[in-house]
Amino acid sequence: MNKSSNYELLGKSPEFEALLRSLDIAAVTDVTLILTGESGTGKELLAHHVHTRSRRNGAPFVAINCAALPEGLAESELFGHVKGAFTGAVTDNPGRISQAEGGTLFLDEIGEMSLDIQAKLLRFLESGEFQPVGSLKQRHADVRLLAATNADLRKKVEDGSFREDLYYRLNIIPFHVPALRERTGDVELLIPEITKRLSETYSLPVPSYSKAAMDCLKRYAWPGNIRELRNLCERMLILFNGREITDGNLPREIRHQQTKRWTFALPDSGIRLDELEQELLQQALEKSQGNQSKAARILGLSRYAFMYRLKKYQLQ
């Protein structure tokens, strides 16, 4: 089991442990990485994990949420500006790239960046040079770039809202962060750990969860991922500290979740499970036209779990 001071990086599922191993390997290089996955899966913490495992760990880790940048200030926030560059620019601003000198710049939700800023970012990635707003001089920075998105960048390239050349420059080593529902066994690992740490913050006694409550939580799809799980743990701690939490105490959306079942009639003659699994893998690949990430989603598997099965049955 992976152990970490951040509970968001705790996990024992094969999908999550495989991701961390791969990130540790990539961390020692200076290659650009992009993390894809749903909101709330902990992409920024994983980016910081890469930074701490890299040779740049003694230098700054600077994170910026591209979706939160005001349209007119995005360029100066990233590349900086000189005094007098525009109304309100009363002092020089070094910008986030300069602040990350020698270290790592993490661009979250990079798919929300405007095409104009994308062009300037591409130039910086290729040359290490950038030009602050209002300045006539080029500057150079030694910075490693990590990026993240919950959007389908390939689709954005196709509809013209994301530059194809930047897409390929970022997509050198892509990593898909599995959703919490894809991380086998991690919910029951995370709940007590998150609750314990929150109880120390609030100075409240830790509640316990009945088997029925925990079973219900394990079945839940967690659309908000780790962020939603933490909120649930905080709510339960405050309302039921020092007591046992039953399934009836859980929020309505968790208690009344709809479990979708696929109806399959087992033939009287029986069936070979490995053959059925291989057939499903083949059909998913056919439906996705060979796109392994899409095929994995069709089967409700993480990409890591899907790739493991392809290798197991020598279907690659």
- 295-315 pLDDT tens trace: 888 888 877 788 888 888 888
**Nearest-angstrom CA–CA distance, 51 and 15:** 21
Domain end residue (candidates: 160, 178, 196)? 178
Note whether 273 and 264 are within 8 A (CB).
no
265 lies in a domain?
no
Q: What's the token pair of residue 113?
A: 């960046």
Q: Which residues pair with 147 in a beta bridge?
A: 34, 107
**Nearest-angstrom CA–CA distance, 165 and 292:** 23
What is the structure's pLDDT at 1? Answer: 47
Residue-wise pLDDT tens digits, 133-157: 887 788 999 999 999 999 999 999 9
List Cβ neighbours of 76 (8 Å cut-off, separation of 6 or more): 85, 86, 89, 93, 95, 132, 133
- The letter for the amino acid at 200 is E
Q: Which of 21-30, 121-130, 201-210, 274-283 has the lowest mean pLDDT?
A: 274-283
Residues 158 and 299 occupy one common structural domain? no
**Nearest-angstrom CA–CA distance, 173 and 41:** 19
Q: Is the pLDDT of residue 49 over 80?
A: yes
Please report, for the domain that includes residue 294, its CATH number: 1.10.10
Please report, for the domain that includes residue 42, its CATH number: 3.40.50.300
Do you know the residue count of the chain? 316
- The letter for the amino acid at 147 is A
What is the span of the domain harbouring residue 92? 7-178
Stretch 57-75: mean pLDDT: 90
**Nearest-angstrom CA–CA distance, 124 and 313:** 43
Mean pLDDT rounded to a whole number for the chain: 89
Q: Which of 61-75, 195-209, 289-303 has the lowest mean pLDDT?
A: 289-303
Q: Which of 177, 120, 146 is nearest to 32 (CA)?
A: 146
Domain end residue (candidates: 229, 255, 281)? 255
Please report, for the domain that includes residue 218, its CATH number: 1.10.8.60
Give me the number of domains the chain comprises. Answer: 3
120 lies in a domain?
yes
